[in-house]
Amino acid sequence: MRVRELADWLGCTYEGDGERDLDGVAPLESAGASQVSFLGNRKAAAMAGTSAAGCLIVWPDYTNSTQRTVIRASDPRGSFARVVARFHPVSRPAPGVHPSAVVAPDAEIAGGVSIGPNAVIAGEARIGEGCAVGAGCSIGRRVLLGRDSVLHPNVTVYDDVDIGERAILHSGCVVGADGFGFVLTGGRYEKFPQVGRVSIGNDVEIGANCCIDRAALGVTWIGDGVKLDNMVHVGHNCRIGRHVVVAAQTGFSGGVVVEDYAVIGGQVGIGDKARIESRAVLGSGCGVLTSKVVRGGEVVWGTPARPLKEILEQLANLARLPAMRQELAALKQQVARLLERAG
């Protein structure tokens, strides 16, 4: 693909050699003359002069002092992501049902669906057009899988789960297992029946080995555009809003509400019935106490989670403690000498 063709496809303008042929993408430091890279920040811009990339995707006001071949985009990173997908399209398996797969007679399988080896599709499940169900997947009764969704090998979806369109579930996901609900009665724990459901929206991606529990009653809900990293646990009756991103090893206790566009770092622990309001940011490793409310747009960190500014002030004060101890010791000596003279 030539530079000018790529720019037209992105809906952007270019400068330089529009006829240059491009055959791939690469990082800024290793890209060659036929490859595309991008400038994501000012630090990358400082490296641009030493890069051999044939074309750079840059922001609109980038100063092209060396007259390189560039494509100007309002969001260089996002545009580069589209270019990567263009040069490396996702391969989809050919439609069809593998002979070793087990599909219930009353399951509804739409056109263009691929079902891999040893997959199991239970009764009354509905698999939408263009879906790919990988090897060893297990799909329970009354599951709805929206069109063009992909289940990688060994995904388990329990009964009564709805998954929207264009979802991606990576290997080892378990969706719809029982929530952690028990009642202490008569000196022993009795299981509280988990009879609710899970509903997952469109364009959701769920990383490897994630667990999303069904509601005890009602619905565990995952909104459109949510992205969960590997090994995230979503407890029963949680409600995760639209376009929330969650990094690896984070756990949501039961009944947590996360509003739209929140950002949650890795290894965060969130207690029962906490609420994370829209566009809040939770730093990696922080802990949100039971029923705590993190306000919209607030950045928090630490355990218990507190506003980042407050945490940084406390850390700065802690860093000053050794010097303060020395000052205190010197003051004690001065006071002792004054007392000796006064006596």
Q: How many CA atoms lie within 13 A of 300 on its CB side?
A: 26
The crossing angle, in degrees rounded to 10, of helices 308-319 and 321-342 is: 50
Catalytic annotation, pick one of 170, 233, 236, 243: 236
Q: Helix, strand or coil for residue 136? A: coil
Q: What number of other Cβ atoms are within 10 A of residue 58's Cβ? A: 24
- Pairing between β-strand 245-246 and β-strand 211-213 as defined by DSSP bridges: unpaired
Which two three-digit tokens encode residue 53? 């990339």
Q: Helix, strand or coil for residue 129? A: coil
Smallest CA-to-CA distance from 32 within 21, 43, 40, 42 is with 21
Phi, psi angle pair for 160, to nearest 5°: 60, 50
Smallest CA-to-CA distance from 126 within 142, 149, 137 is with 142
Identity of the amino acid at 130: G
What DSSP character marks residue 48? G
Let me know if 236 is a catalytic residue: yes
Taking the C-alpha atoms of residue 81 and residue 262, their distance in angstroms, rounded to an integer, is 22
Enzyme catalytic residues: 236
